[in-house]
Chains A and B, each alone.
Chain A
Amino acid sequence: EIVLTQSPGTLSLSPGERATLSCRASQSVISRYLAWHQQKPGQAPRLLIYGASSRPTDIPDRFSGSGSGTDFTLTISRLEPEDFAVYYCHQYGSSPYNFGQGTKLEIK
């Protein structure tokens, strides 16, 4: 089974800054089947990125994903106040389709 490890656990930044979140897999993720989800308090998660770098049409272009194999990154180019939340990576290439433990992005 693939274990996903996210870093850092907590990231403290200010609005307007750039955020870089990491997700490392214990084995190679098949076909870049890696997604990123955003979760705000009291809400369900929301899909931000799929296929490592593709964005659903309703997701702002300040969110971007990159990576392949075992190393993946979510970048938020300029943080908006509404971006402060918890982010989870999720591999869906091989069962079990595990999630990372999450990175909390908080306002500095």
Chain B
Amino acid sequence: HVQLVQSGAEVKKSGASVKVSCKASGYIFTNYYMHWVRQAPGQGLEWMGIINPSGGSTNYAQKFQGRVTMTRDTSTTTVYMELSSLRSEDTAVYYCARGDGIVADYWGQGTLVTVSS
């Protein structure tokens, strides 16, 4: 069965970077996209971007352009999301979600990133 297992919670200082991983299993890794979505405390879902694990191409939301980098490692079926220049507003739960022809059909459990000053 499809599983997306994310890395553990992180606490970072303002200005630092964080790299969150999402290990996929139970399906052919390169046949599906991967979204990254975040949710600030008590808020809604915010789409950050998408990566095609087959060739590594990416498409980022304009809000995160220049600060976010999504990569993948096909040998370990893992995708990564790195966010730099962290500020307090980046405190959120970060989710990966598999894209079946783009629709997000399976979600990871989420990774809490806390940014402190």
Report which A residues bind B (CB closer than 8 A). Answer: 33, 35, 37, 39, 44-47, 50-51, 56, 88, 90, 92, 95-102
Residue among A33, A46, A51, A96 making CB contact with B47, cutoff 8 Å: A96
Residue among B47, B50, B99, B110 making CB contact with A98, cutoff 8 Å: B47
B62 at the interface (CB under 8 A from A): yes
Is B108 a contact partner of A35 (Cβ separation < 8 A)? Answer: no
Count contacts between A and B, CB distance < 8 Å: 55
Query: Considering only CB atoms and an 8 Å cut-off, how many residues of chain B contact the other chain?
Result: 22
Is A56 a contact partner of B105 (Cβ separation < 8 A)? Answer: yes
Q: Which residue of chain B is the closest to A47 with respect to CB atoms?
A: B105
Report which B residues bind A (CB closer than 8 A). Answer: 35, 37, 44-47, 50, 59, 61-62, 95, 97, 99, 102-110
Is A97 a contact partner of B109 (Cβ separation < 8 A)? Answer: no
Q: Which residue of chain A is the closest to B99 with respect to CB atoms?
A: A92
Given contacts A97-B50, A99-B45, contact A50 B108 (CB under 8 A): no
